């Protein structure tokens, strides 16, 4: 679920405000983020593994906080 929140914001930053481009690129970025999180979770601690959701949270959490702060500051 967290990837579904972050991916559209990444897509909007990279392709602009046109929803015809945001929707397909959101799916692409979500897949890339989750695949990258899964690979990192398997490689970082080689004998064991970290859940992909936790790695995705660690990768996308700071980005999502920055997006929320940006929107909150622009509304003030």
Question: What secondary structure does DSSP assign to 18-65, as a single string?
Answer: -HHHHHHHHHHHHHHHHHHHHHHHHHTTSSS---HHHHHHHHHHHHHH
Q: pLDDT tens string for the chain (76 positions)?
A: 778 888 998 899 899 999 999 999 999 999 999 999 999 999 998 889 999 989 988 888 888 888 788 877 766 5
33 Cα distance to chain centroid: 6
Predicted confidence at residue 75, as pLDDT, reads: 65
Measure the CA–CA gap between 36 and 61, rounded to whole angstroms: 15
Extents of the domains making up the chain = 2-75
Rounded to 5 degrees, what are φ and ψ at 14?
A: -90, -30
Q: What would the two tokens of residue 37 be?
A: 């999180």
């Amino acid at each position: 679920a967290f990837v579904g929140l972050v991916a559209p914001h990444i897509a909007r930053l990279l392709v602009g405000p046109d929803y015809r481009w945001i929707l397909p690129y959101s799916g692409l970025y979500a897949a890339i983020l989750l695949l990258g999180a899964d690979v990192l979770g398997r490689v970082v601690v080689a004998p064991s593994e970290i859940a992909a959701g936790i790695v995705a949270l660690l990768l996308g959490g700071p980005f999502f906080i920055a997006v929320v702060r940006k929107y909150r500051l622009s509304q003030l």
